[in-house]
Structure 1
């Protein structure tokens, strides 16, 4: 990792420490792993002509802690939701859409 990437990675760690919540991720029957996530609730899903066609809950993961995949389970405060799809992944942070 070059110096610039290391600076960005360190900045993201600090942001997750400040804005994130403790959670657990589980893939299949593997044991749950503790992670720190930043959750965005009620994010507008925009249609072809700019109209809001729905709202999603998104979760952001530091890839150094967990690389999410479709079907993974995220548990926060006893509430579990499934990863529906990967929204973005820049190599430092992966952003996923949660089901439901």
Structure 2
């Protein structure tokens, strides 16, 4: 990289939760899928082919979705595969080190 070049990073924040009457975050499965699909649509429109995209395993942490991180990885993987015609760039799914014992990427093969 030339000394005059700078790395420019773009970030996309995706939020699919809403608060219920008790002010607890909640996310339905439809909201989750819609959020993932909206993120993919934004990536396909905003990112150039040569760019690399990094996506963490997007889970339901505080949204009470009652799914494991493994299930969230499998859902993310399937939705990304479904949209391969839109995504002509490098997509890298990140598994944080604290989730390594819960998530097994070899199960996706």
**Shorter-chain TM-score above 0.5:** no
Q: Answer with 1 or 2: which has the greater Rg.
A: 2
More helix by share: 2
TM-score (norm 2): 0.26
Q: Which has the higher contact order (CA 8 A, sep 6+)?
A: 2
Higher strand share: 1
